[in-house]
Amino acid sequence: MMPVAVVSEPAAPKMLHADKADIEFKNLDFNYGEKPVLHNINLTVKSGQLVALVGASGSGKTSLLRCINLLTTPERGRIVIGGEPIFDKFNIEPQIERALDRKVWLKSGGYLVFDQAEALTAIDVNTGRFVGKHNQDETVLKTNLEAVEEVVLLVHHREIRGKFRHSASPT
């Protein structure tokens, strides 16, 4: 039997398009856990230019796009859009500070309290200033529904993770 060489398909390109302003990546570093994914990235995409990011799986294409979409925060470096740092342009610093505060206010006037211990993060939902329109049950329900949406985002931003033990025996 003749040996067969397997040739893998090249990775699908990720597109980056600078629509109305130049996008600059300056000395950008990003690690995924302990693994460096982006190191000292310097790239300028001129307004109107379309760039295809091509590379093997795990080479950092998606991580770079996640940085510009503010889904991931780089370890070092800056992203500048139209001459303005991305965090300034979109007023990110106050949002990060708010997301990391122990007490996080909800739009309704309720609030969340995050208490972290070594093996547990407790999230307390409080109705606060929100008194509702009809009765206490309705107030609690509305506050809890608003809290669920906010907690999902904040757990992601705070990188709160759990380790789950699974045992086949009930003892």
Among the listed residues 38, 70, 46, the one whose alpha carbon sits nearest the alpha carbon of residue 153: 70
Domain ranges of the chain: 14-90, 93-157
Q: pLDDT of 85-131, one tens digit each?
A: 888 877 777 777 777 788 998 988 889 998 888 778 889 999 887 66
Q: Mean of the pLDDT values across residues 32-43?
A: 90
Fold of the domain spanning 14-90 = Rossmann fold (3.40.50)
Instruction: Give the global pTM.
Output: 0.52
Residue located via tokens 């979109």: 90
Q: What is the mean pLDDT of the chain?
A: 80
Q: What is the pLDDT of residue 13?
A: 65
User: How far, in Å, CA of 66 to CA of 160, rounded?
Assistant: 19
